[in-house]
Amino acid sequence: TQLLEQSPQFLSIQEGENLTVYCNSSSVFSSLQWYRQEPGEGPVLLVTVVTGGEVKKLKRLTFQFGDARKDSSLHITAAQPGDTGLYLCAGVTRSNDYKLSFGAGTTVTVRA
């Protein structure tokens, strides 16, 4: 059983559309991170959120951390083909500070 549940597992959209990826857990996280991974490469950190209710924006990407610090979402506005990739959420719990646990990931495909 994954500590972090991501949904949906796959997402295929047309260029210009919006999309949202969700990351949920029953555990409380001291920090939650989002990564994007391309085939054959390691994940690349997009953002870290640490405060409940926090919203961070990175160009067309908006990240939210739930008030209870148990869930997060990633919203992409006007998706582009360059946004294609595997999106992973990962969190560190207070009881296990030395371990970053990952969700299963959401594969996003943006068609031109």
Partner 1 sequence: KAGVTQTPRYLIKTRGQQVTLSCSPISGHRSVSWYQQTPGQGLQFLFEYFSETQRNKGNFPGRFSGRQFSNSRSEMNVSTLELGDSALYLCASSLPDFYGYTFGSGTRLTVV
Rule CB under 8 A: which residues touch partner 1? Answer: 2, 31, 33, 35, 40-45, 48, 50, 88, 90, 92, 96-105
How near is the Cβ of 49 to partner 1 at its closest, in Å? 10
Q: What is the 3-state secondary structure (H, E, C) of 83-96?
A: HCEEEEEEEEEHHH
How near is the Cβ of 108 to partner 1 at its closest, in Å? 16
How near is the Cβ of 19 to partner 1 at its closest, in Å? 20
- Give CA–CA dist 47/42, Å, rounded: 15
- Give CA–CA dist 34/54, Å, rounded: 14
Q: Which is nearer to partner 1, 15 or 38 (CB)?
A: 38
